[in-house]
Amino acid sequence: MADAYVAIEGDRVIEARARAPGTARGELVFTTAYTGYEESLTDPSYEEQVLTFSYPLIGNYGVREERFESDRVHPRAAVAREMTDDVAEWLESEGIPAVDHLDTRDIVTEIRDEGAMKCGIAAGPDVTEQDALDELHECKHMSDHTDIGAQVSVDDVEVHNEGGDGATVALVDCGAKGSITESLVERDAEVHVFPYDTSEDDVAAVDPDLLFISNGPGDPENFEQAGELVETYVGDVPLAGICLGQQVVANALGGETEKMEFGHRGVNQPVRDLRSNQVVMTTQNHGYTVADPGDKLDVTQVNVNDDTPEGLENDDLNIITRQYHPEANPGPHDSLGFFDDVLGMAGE
Ligand SMILES: NC(=O)CC[C@H](N)C(=O)O
The pLDDT tens digits of the residues spanning 144-156 come to 999 999 999 999 9
Q: Is residue 112 pLDDT above 80, yes or no?
A: yes
% of the chain at pLDDT higher than 90: 99
Residues 192, 337 share a domain: yes
Helices assigned H by DSSP within the chain: 37-41, 85-93, 104-114, 129-138, 148-152, 178-185, 200-205, 224-233, 244-252, 337-345
Q: Is residue 1 pLDDT above 90, yes or no?
A: no
How far is the C-alpha of 25 from the C-alpha of 6, rounded, in Å?
Answer: 9
Q: Is residue 157 pLDDT above 90, yes or no?
A: yes
- Domain residues for the domain of 123 are 4-140
Q: Tell how strand 256-273 and strand 279-292 pair up.
A: antiparallel
pLDDT tens per residue across span 221-273: 999 999 999 999 999 999 999 999 999 999 999 999 999 999 999 999 999 99
Domain C-terminal end among 94, 113, 140: 140
Angle between helices 244-252 and 224-233 in degrees, nearest 10: 60
Global pTM reads: 0.98
Q: Is residue 99 pLDDT above 80, yes or no?
A: yes
pLDDT tens per residue across span 323-336: 999 999 998 999 99
Q: Tell the burial category of 295 from Cβ atoms under 10 Å away from its Cβ (0-12, 13-18, 19+).
A: exposed
Residues 70, 187 share a domain: no
This model of the complex carries an ipTM of 0.98
Residues 161, 89 share a domain: no
Decide whether any atom of ligand 1 lies within 6 Å of the 287 Cβ. Answer: yes
The count of other CB atoms within 10 Å of the CB of residue 43 is 33
Residues 247, 120 share a domain: no
Residues 173, 249 share a domain: yes
Using pLDDT thresholds of 50, 70 and 90, give the confidence band for residue 348. confident
Domain C-terminal end among 118, 140, 162: 140
Mark whether 325 is an active-site residue. Answer: yes
The count of other CB atoms within 10 Å of the CB of residue 63 is 17
Residues 159, 273 share a domain: yes
Residue minimizing CA distance to atom 8 of ligand 1 = 286
Supply the pLDDT for residue 108.
Answer: 98
How far is the C-alpha of 99 from the C-alpha of 18, rounded, in Å?
Answer: 5
Ligand 1 atom at minimum distance from 257 CA: 10
Residues 280, 210 share a domain: yes
Residues 156, 43 share a domain: no
Residues 165, 30 share a domain: no
Residues 293, 253 share a domain: yes
pLDDT tens per residue across span 47-73: 999 999 999 999 999 999 999 999 999
* Tally of domains within the chain: 2
Q: Is residue 345 pLDDT above 90, yes or no?
A: yes
CATH label of the domain that carries residue 94: 3.50.30.20
The count of other CB atoms within 10 Å of the CB of residue 122 is 31
Give the distance (Å) from ligand 1 centre to CA of residue 174. 10
Residues 238, 176 share a domain: yes
Domain C-terminal end among 140, 158, 177: 140
Residues 304, 175 share a domain: yes
Mark whether 243 is an active-site residue. Answer: yes
Give the distance (Å) from ligand 1 centre to CA of residue 128. 33
Point out the catalytic residue in the list 39, 74, 243, 310: 243
Supply the pLDDT for residue 113.
Answer: 97
CATH label of the domain that carries residue 315: 3.40.50.880
Q: Tell how strand 98-100 and strand 49-53 pair up.
A: unpaired
Q: Over the chain, what is the mean pLDDT?
A: 97
Distances (CA, A) of 303 to 53, 278, 283: 22, 12, 12
